[in-house]
Structure 1
Amino acid sequence: MTLARKGVWAASAAVVLALLVVFGLPVIASTQIVRDSVASQMSAWSGYRVRLDETPQIQVWPAFRAVLHDVSLADWNPGDPAPVVEAERIEIDLSALAALRGDVVFTKMRLIRPLIRLRPGEDGYTLPAPKGWGKLARSVEAARALVSSAPASPDLQGLPNDVFGTIEIVEGRLIAQGSGEHTDLMTSITGQLDWPALNRQASLSASGIWHGESVKIAASSAQPLILLGGGSAPVDVSIQSAPANATYKGTASFAGDSFIDGQISLAAPSLNRLMEWTHALTFAGNRVGPVTLSAQVTGDQRRLKFENAAIGFNGSGGKGLLDVSLGNGRPAVAGTLAFDALDLRALLNAFNPFSRTVMADGREQHLRIGGFDVDLRLSSTTAALGSVKLSGVAAAVKVKDGLETFDVSDASAFGGNLQFGMRADRTGAQDMIELRMTGEQIQTGEFGAAFGLERLVPQAQGSFSLMVRGTGSDLETVLQGADGSFTATLGKGTVPGLDMTRFLALSQEGDFFPLAALSEGTLAIDNAELRATITKGVAQIDRADARSGPYAISLDGLVPIAGRGLALYGTLGHAQNEAAAPPAPLMFFVGGSWSAPFIASFHAPAPQ
């Protein structure tokens, strides 16, 4: 036979085979596949009861495919089977060669607009357990047996090697089904699971809408069946969304309390938005963000340890160790972080005593309700609190048992040392707020200027201590009824906005005059001391003395710290150690408001 004739016979055989496949497959499908074979195989794999409302349609071109309409997978409750998965349409790509042998082998399954129902349980939402004879369930049990016999290194050769294929979902919906009610967990789900065989690698890529935000998820594992069987296997996961991007690469186990050991990273443009999106807590006040985290994480559902953690927020970057406890009771976050530069205002926005948390249902709560405990130790080479620059900062944040504290125990600023802190006690009927600040050997002029206070603030080195304690939901309310104390001692310096010569001249005229009339001069002081007791929002001056050359100045009276009024009485006389006999002292009254005080002066009666 010539080569040309052999070629003609080969081509003819190919044409005949193609014709047999094209015209024979529908016949084979109608006799061997349509008669419940597809439904039986779906049930055999899933373990659920499969119901088809319509006879499957068989397509030969461009792929050998069975198209199923109105499909449901239900549990095996004999009285009233509950649907687990419902789909408007399922397209199943079949092996043509297997069909010619009379077998049904799925190569790809495409679920169009499926509805997947999860049931609530002790460990969250799960799919109802399928019938034990499902091929996938049996394979998981086989993997579990291998893991149980050798947890550290199960025999991978003993894993089932059944062909699985690809599952694709288009416009799916995931809901939590309760007693007669349901809640959307994720909608607009589109994705694909590629799992060529049960003993091979699997990968998942999907997108959907969760809590109102579009999310993309990618995950893969070299041994997914070992993972499903409770063993430890490599896992690679990434999540992309507008509120946050996160990745994890390492090993994981889903048995018992679960376990992870790998590298995690997280980046969010706003801490507030991230917590709102996850339906966790929302911090009131100014926004906090962006936030980043990368660390080696190990632990289980009860405790996670973040080692070599690098955390950043609002431009601050720190490194250290974080420990998250998730066991019984309230979750707790503890750790130690060291920063090169720290934004203290961002911390205050998150942990100030007036912060309230807003839960997912809109209820306004404090951190103590539905929140978490915190014990963080922070240090920083430099720090900023608005325009205030500090160095050598040591700080701590604590939230526990209804008590919240934010303390800066050490910081260098304004040529001296500063300490300040806030404490909220929420264990009683009303929130008790305590604010404290101390400064040692600081330049008071620089301190005042940093807070926009320059007029009448002494330009001297000194020390001070302030403590106020009261109830209220904001600073003004607390100050209106606060109790506490204030002390200050100053060395040699000046007080801008006080002209002694002008004061004496206007006092001789015997009429009251505005304090602003003295603003052109400066009062030199040798030293000064102030002590005040604060009761129900009013400062009672116990002692206020200053020495200015030959003069001794003293004040007493009342100052509402949350109001705008003044009621002060003062005395101007000669210092006690002056050689000249002191004349009758000049007495004066300071009244009006903080913004526009006035002075009325008169001479004290001469001693009899």
Structure 2
Amino acid sequence: MKKLVPILLLPVVLVLAAAAFAPKLASDARLRAEAVAAVRAATGREPRIEGPVGFSVLPWPAITAEDLTVDDEDGDSRLMVPRLRVVLHLLPLLTGQARADHIELASPELSIVGSEASLDGFSALVAGLGTSRLDADIRVTDGQLLVRHGNVSEVVIPRADVRLAWQGMKEVALKGKLTWRGEPLDVDFALSDVARLAAGGGAGLRLSASGPPAEFSFDGSVKLAGGPVAEGQLAMSSRKLRDTLEWLGLDAPTEQGFGAFALRGQALMSDQGAALSSARLELDGNVSEGGFNLRLEDGRSIVQGSLASESVDLTPYGQLTIFDSDDGTWSDDPLDLSRLARLDLDLRLSATRVRAGNSQFRRMAASAVLKNGKLSLAIGEAEAWDGIFRAAIHVAPGPNGAGADARVDLAGDDVAFAKAFGDIFRSQRLEGKGSFHLTAGGAGESIAQIVTGLDGDFTLSGAHGALVGMDVGRILDRLAKRPLSGMGDLRGGRTPFDSIELSATIAGGIARLAKFEVESSRLRIAMNGKCSIARRDLDLSGEATLMGSKEAGTQVASFELPFIVRGDWERPVVLPDAQLLIRRSGAARALFGDKLNTLDPLGVSGSANP
């Protein structure tokens, strides 16, 4: 025990010795010179101390100073420290030498110029650090980072509590916590071979940041000569990308989706942009591989990329529908496309399998191009609905930036109509296989206005299918025998056909049938009229013909029925021409006589032709 007493008393002796030698450092000039020397060794720049300086022994020998300022040579960056504390090594102090163990900065403020000149200032700062021989820690408490734009300063990092480990010209490491955009982040930074970096060579760079919004890491190299360039492995992830984009001040392009996200690849970054190769992107359970390029031109961000996937599920981003709404009416909500003007995008996507709601696509090649606020989405070709599908959608801001100008081009070859129209238009009233082509466009400040002024055309041809919602053959058989028995609603059943042909023009939100013909061995149907897309209703007339036996090799009509179609798209009403049915009834002729020619008991037998 007695042998341990000297060891236990050693700290006391050292403190007393430090107190004895403290007066040697106690003069204001000496303390100020030692503080300036410590900061100069750490930064490579000449500091200014405008406040008082002092020396304390307990709890550890330290030099204190107030109102410290460090500027770079060009004035692009400035470090202001209200209170500085240089904690000294004890043993050198016993010989009258002041050697820093670590430097404590309380509430420091670092401001840099928000322009390209700031990169030069940063390079000059690193050059200064590369000549520093300081081997100490710098501990920052409640620090701030500001970016100056002219006479206006923006607080980028309002709070930082970090520890900067300095190993002379060899390595700089920073670790701690900071706040950015209102969220706390854990940061870990390491820069090796600082002297080589300052001399124009390359140095190792490792950086990671993690917090509630996202996680980021980079492991590679950096050089500053000729402009800063970093190359290495980049990784980013987020539990919910939508929240991360909102944190960054960006809007997600869709109202749904953008959940779990991860991205990694080989990155090459410079002040002109960034390139990511051998990239692997995971978003909402989808995995894609490819590459991206990001560059800056005239203050605009331009993103180019190409991705390939084995399987893509678009269900998280909403149902694939065109010209439909949940409550059966078109939306009057104002359209705002201002977010499209924030960047330019050129993205290519290829996938073996794609799922969009109930739709299944195979071998799809698609693209999304956004330039100067104008968006173009295209599916070059995809296997869908047992056939081939192509699509193009073009959207641009309206005059003065209000509303939108939209154009749609959809085409299907040898597709199953029930599947295709059920997925696109949410209507399954047509069965069979064939081809269709829709081109339509309009402009307005809301979807309702666009639909009201819609222009375009629609064509369709198919075979071996059926019209769902009425059995025309059964109705004609019954009416041929008892004409008056058919008065009423003719909905229900199916009407098989061998072929169908349809063509329509769209003008001012009204689709006008130029041709609608359905044929089978039993019957023929022809219709014309109009359909209001804006009001979603029908005003059609037609004639159904029941075919009889063949005479001289030609099939002749055995019964003809004119009819009309009224009502909305979802619940159309099909009614026969009442006058004609009464005329064909012998009992009715005896009752009405000559008045039969003007009789219209239902008031619906007038022509529906425009």
Q: TM-score under structure 1 normalisation?
A: 0.81
Say whether the 8 Å CA contact 1:524–1:549 is kept in structure 2. no
Distance across 2 between alignment mates of 1:339 and 1:470: 34
1:533 matches 2:505? yes
**Aligned residue among 87, 95, 99 for 1:93:** 87
Q: Distance in 1 between matches of 2:223 and 2:285?
A: 35
Alpha-carbon distance in structure 2 between the residues aligned to 1:463 and 1:200: 70
Q: Is the 8 A contact 1:303 1:327 kept in 2?
A: no
Aligned residue for 2:253, secondary structure, equals coil
What's the CA shift for 1:385?
A: 0.9
Corresponding residue of 2:67: 71
Note the C-alpha offset of 1:367: 5.0
Match of 1:601 among 553, 573, 576: 576
> What SS does the aligned partner of 1:381 have?
strand
The 3 A distance-change label for structure 1 pair 97 and 364 is farther
1:436 aligns with 2:409: yes
Q: CA RMSD in A?
A: 3.8
1:217 maps onto 2:217 in alignment: no
Give the match for residue 104 of structure 1: 98
Partner of 1:149: none
Question: 2:491 aligned to 518, 541, 546, which one?
Answer: 518
Pairwise CA distance, 1:20 = 5.1
Match of 1:513, SS state, is coil
Which residue of 1 is the match for residue 215 of structure 2?
Answer: 245
- In structure 2, C-alpha distance between the alignment counterparts of 1:171 and 1:50, rounded to whole Å: 21
Contact 1:403 1:427 in 2 (8 A): no
Question: 2:432 aligned with 1:460, yes or no?
Answer: yes
Q: CA deviation at 1:405?
A: 1.2
Could you tell me how far apart the structure 2 residues matched to 1:331 and 1:529 are? 48
| Contact 2:307–2:349 (Cα < 8 Å) also in 1 | yes
* Alpha-carbon spacing, 1:472–1:241, altered in 2? closer, same or farther (3 Å): farther
User: 1:368–1:9: structure 2 CA closer, same or farther, 3 Å change rule?
Assistant: closer
Shift in alpha-carbon separation, 1:76–1:329, aligned structure 2, 3 A: closer
The 2-side partners of 1:12 and 1:558 are apart by 103
Partner of 1:296: 266
Correspondence for 2:291 among 314, 321, 328: 321
Give the match's secondary structure for 1:276: helix
Instruction: Indicate if the aligned counterparts of 1:238 and 1:248 stay in contact, CA closer than 8 A.
Output: yes
Per-residue displacement from partner, 1:335-387 (whole Å, max 9, x unpaired)?
A: 3221011234668999x99xxxxxxxxx9653553312x22221111001112
Of 36-45 and 550-559, more deviation after overlay is shown by: 36-45
Distance 1:490 1:545 in 2: 11
User: Letter of the aligned partner of 2:48 in structure 1?
Assistant: V
Range that drifts further, 528-537 or 322-331: 322-331
Percent of aligned positions that are identical? 19
Deviations 1:276-323 (A, max 9, x none): 322345435324233321111225322433221111222111112323
1:253 partner amino acid:
K
What residue in structure 2 maps to residue 173 of structure 1? 144
Q: Kindly report which structure 2 residues correspond to 1:538-549, keeping only aligned pairs within 5 A, or say none.
A: 538-549=510-521
| Pair 1:27 & 2:2 matched | no
1:116 aligns with 2:89: no
Matched residue, 1:56: 54
**Residue 494 of structure 1, CA deviation:** 2.4
Q: Which runs of 5+ in 1 are unaligned?
A: 131-135, 144-159, 354-362
Q: CA deviation at 1:165?
A: 0.9
Aligned to 1:152: none
Residues 251, 473 of structure 1: alpha-carbon distance in 2 compared, 3 angstrom cutoff: farther
Q: Helix, strand or coil: the match of 1:97?
A: helix
Partner of 1:586: 561
Aligned pairs for 1:142-181 within 5 A: 160=131, 162-178=133-149, 181=152
1:192-203 → structure 2 map (5 Å cutoff): 192-197=163-168, 199-203=169-173
Q: Which amino acid aligns with 2:385?
A: F
Task: Tell me the alpha carbon deviations over residues 151-190 of structure 1, each in whole angstroms, 9 at most, x when there is no partner.
Answer: xxxxxxxxx5722411111122222345554322112211
Superposed displacement of residue 471, structure 1:
1.3
In the alignment, which residue of structure 2 is the partner of 1:358?
Answer: none
Question: What displacement does 1:334 show?
Answer: 2.2
Q: Structure 2 vs 1, CA of residues 512 and 324 (structure 1 numbering), >3 Å: closer, same or farther?
A: farther
1:37 aligns with 2:10: no
> Taking structure 1 as reference, are residues 532 and 369 closer, same or farther at Cα in structure 2, changes over 3 Å only?
same
Q: Secondary structure at the match of 1:288?
A: coil
What pairs up with 1:350-429 in 2 under 5 angstroms? 366=338, 369-372=341-344, 374-426=345-397
Q: 2:530 maps to what in 1?
A: 558
Distance of 2:187 and 2:248 partners within structure 1: 15
d(CA) in 1 for partners of 2:415, 2:549: 29
Letter in 2 for 1:582: A
How far, CA to CA, are the matches of 1:120 and 1:575 in structure 2? 82
Distance 1:585 1:244, change over 3 A: same
In 2, Cα distance between equivalents of 1:337 and 1:577: 61
2:372 and 2:6 mapped to 1: Cα distance?
85
Give, in angstroms, the shift of residue 487 of structure 1: 1.0
Task: Answer whether contact 2:55 2:61 (CA < 8 A) is retained.
Answer: no
The alignment of Structure 1 onto Structure 2 pairs a total of residues equal to 558
Superposed CA offset, 1:246-272 (max 9, x none): 111111113333212211111123333
Change (3 A) 1:498 1:487: same
2:484 to 495, 506, 509: 509
Task: Return closer, same or farther for 1:177/1:367 CA change in 2, 3 Å cut-off.
Answer: closer
Taking a change above 3 Å as real, the CA distance of residues 76 and 116 of structure 1, as seen in their structure-2 partners, is closer
CA displacement at 1:498 relative to structure 2: 0.9
Partner amino acid, structure 2, of 1:219: F
Opposite residue 463 of structure 1, the aligned amino acid is: S
1:556 shift after superposition: 0.7
Give the CA deviation at 1:486: 0.9
- Contact 1:26/1:60 (8 A) holds in 2: no
